[in-house]
Each structure stands twice: as C-alpha cells, then as structure tokens.
Structure 1
Amino acid sequence: MSHCDTEPQLAQYFTNCSADISSSNEDHTSQYAASWTPYVEIQGKEPLEEYRYKSAEELQSTPAEGLLHVYPGGGYTVLLKGAPIDIILNLDRLQRENWIDMNTRAIFVELSMYNAQVNYFSVIQLMIEIPAEGYLLPSAWVESVRLIKYQGKDADIIIFFENYCDRITYRNSKYILFVSDYRTYYT
C-alpha cells in the first residue's frame, strides 16, 4: 500500500495521506482476504482469486504505458466472464468490499472480440488512471486487424495483389542494387 509521511506542522490538518506509486512502493503482497484485510489461511476455504497478486508472467502481459505512469503488467485481477447477471453480482460484491480503494492507481479493462461478417478481430484496452490526488484520467486503445486474410470471396484477389507487390519490390530492389553498384564503381 502506498502511504506517505506528513510534515509534523501539517499533520493536524490531514487525517490520511496517500503517495503516488513507484517501483519502490508498489504492492506485491501475494494474497489478501476480502476488503484488502490480511489473509489468514483457513482449512477447507479457498482464498479469493481477485485478491491474489499475479505477476506479469502469470498474466502473460507486458508493461502498459498510461498518461501518468508505465505500469509493470502485474497486479490484482478479476475475470469478468459468464452470464451477465453473474458478472453484475460479482461487480456488486467487489464494490461492497471496496476492491477499488484509495490505493488503486490504475484500472484496466481488456476485451477481445471477433466480427465474423467482416472477418476482423478487435482488441480493446480501456485504462483509468487514478493518481494520489483522486481524479480519474481515462484513456482507450482499440486495434482491429484481419488475421484470417485468405478467406471468403476476396481471397484470390488478396493473394494476387500480395504476389504482385512482392514481385515489384523484388525487381526494384535488384535494380536499385545494380544501379548503385554501377555508379559506385565508375565514379
């Protein structure tokens, strides 16, 4: 948890203080109980997955660059999948438990979807950064890409034009190399 020290002269005016995150004060506690209380292992009771720290390797993620910081890729995660009513109930429970609290510095929502009509995959990342001052700084990144290129009515056309472009590139690069070698030799 990121806390800061207050100057003694100002301490009477502030009841709490929260510092911005850095690599030195980022929380890597392996497991918490609900509402971020210390975890005590109880026989036969599974710990809550959303209060377990996961490294970037476990999440297969890379650092994410926000508007304020670069976030290392690890953290506490919730998988939102299943029936819509189950997702709503899970989010309500997390809200009651203050899963997003004054120590939260960034929230990431990552989605991926496939549109079969146009054969496009879309990856969406929504990020909300929450600096120590408490305001919300949202940003979004959306990328759509056609991963299955050679499918459908236009597959033959795509293959033809890709081969055509490859041949032109090959021919022009041979010409450029020949002319540049020729000019260097005779000048």
Structure 2
Amino acid sequence: INTIDEYWYWLENSFVSNIRAQEWYNGDIPQYLNGFLNDKSNRLIGWATMRQLRIKSGLCSDRRVISICEDSYSLFNEETKLFQPGWTNETIEDEVYSSSIIKAFNYSTSDELDTYTYVGEFGRYRGGGYVYEFRGRLSDMKTNLSALHELDWIDEKTRAVFIQLTLYNPSVELLTSVTLLAEFLPTGGIYTTARFEPINFYSNLLFSFYF
C-alpha cells in the first residue's frame, strides 16, 4: 500500500469483508459462526475500530511559495476540533448521514476511548482521534466506508490510521490484540505495520489462582 487510494481499496475490498464470516468454499452459509472472522477460526470480541490522527494546517514562513504547510505529526499540532462530515464546519442540510459517519468526524479523547499512546516508526501518537466503529451488518459497513471515502475522511492532513481489534480463538483458548497501523507521511508515502499481542487468558488465570 503506497497511496491513499490503495489504502481505501484494501479497506473496501479486503479488510471489511474478512471481519465477517462469509460463505464456505462450496457456497454453504456459515452456521453458528456469528461474530467470527472469515477464517472461521477467530471470533471478534466487541467490534473493530478505525481511529485517525490528523494535523492542523499551518501557515508557511514564505507564503510566496505556498500558503499552507503540511507537517509531520506531533502532540502540538494534532487536530482536535469537531467537524461536520467532509471536514467542514458548515452543516449540509440536504445530506443525511448515519450516526457512525457523523461520529467519525468528531474528536474523541483517549480517556473517552480508553486508549493509550502508541509509538510508531515515524511518530508517537496519542490515544485520541477520529473514530469509526465497524458495527452492524456487513452491507451497512460497506456503505459507510464508501461514504467516508467520498467525504475524504483520509486526506492530506491524515498522519495515522489505527485499526484495532481483539480476537478469541476457542480452539486454542487464545486472545489476541491486533493493531494495524498506517502512517501517512508528509511526503505522500504510507508506511504500514502490524502488531499481534497474544494473551493466554486461561493459563494466566490458573497461574493467579495457584499463586
């Protein structure tokens, strides 16, 4: 993934379809797999979230060249304002958006989200941000992603997008915390990383009991 368009393509054509169990290879409908991923092995605990961190637009020192500068992310230039869909301050009366879309343009703090600071390859990112939750039917999530794409939810001021989810594999009794991070560089490139943190809940519980 090297561009914003490629990231959207991955979101809309790969990621979102795989967080719900789809038909089996022979076309049979999956039964008793509500909440499972498309691998039919891991169950989603709660729901996946997509959180964006953005920067403010700053005036360049030499405005004869360009009037707006796009800097790297820092704790001092993070955008935290509330916006209407499309990153505007004006209400569009003719358009009706779902609550999920409206919420995705409203900043939430780390305390509200119960999240923490995360260190990436190109920045140290706060736990707040603009959040979209992958909740509801697959068709609704696809519709919402298309709307966010059309509204330029990811644009030149985006500096990081986190996709976070927690999985449970009942076969091996293993919980896994998954973080997929895409860092959007001021030069236009995108750097992606993934972190998987397994937790064997039952062995930890047994250890605590005997200890």
Considering the TM-score relative to the shorter chain, is it more than 0.5? Answer: yes
Identify which of 29, 38, 57 aligns with 1:2: 57
Query: Which ranges of structure 2 fall in alignment gaps of 5 or more residues?
Result: 1-55
**Is 1:26–2:81 an aligned residue pair?**
no
Aligned partner (choices 88, 109, 112) of residue 142 of structure 2: 88
Alignment of structure 1 residues 61-72 onto 2, 5 Å: 61-72=115-126
Task: Return the structure number with greater helix share.
Answer: 1
Structure with more of its chain in strand, by fraction: 2
Alpha-carbon separation, structure 2, partners of 1:124 and 1:53 = 22
**Aligned length in residues:** 150
> How is 1:21-170 mapped onto 2 (pairs within 5 angstroms)?
21-29=73-81, 31-40=82-91, 48-149=102-203
Q: CA deviation at 1:123?
A: 0.9
**TM-score of the pair, normalised by structure 1:** 0.71
Cα deviation code 1:124-151 (max 9, x no counterpart): 0000001211100101100112102389
TM-score, length-normalised on structure 2? Answer: 0.63
Q: Distance in 2 between matches of 1:22 and 1:141?
A: 22
List per-residue Cα deviations over 1:10-54 (Å, max 9, x = no partner): x1xx5753122222221111x211110015598xx9791111100
- Structure 1, unaligned stretches of length 5 or more? 152-157, 167-187
SS at match of 2:179: strand
Encode CA deviations 1:102-143: one digit per residue, 9 max, x unaligned.
Answer: 100000000111111110011100000012111001011001
Relative CO higher for 1 or 2, CA cutoff 8 Å, sep ≥ 6? 2
% identical aligned pairs: 25
| Aligned-partner residue type, residue 120 of structure 1 | L
Please tell me whether Structure 1 or Structure 2 has the larger radius of gyration of its CA atoms.
1
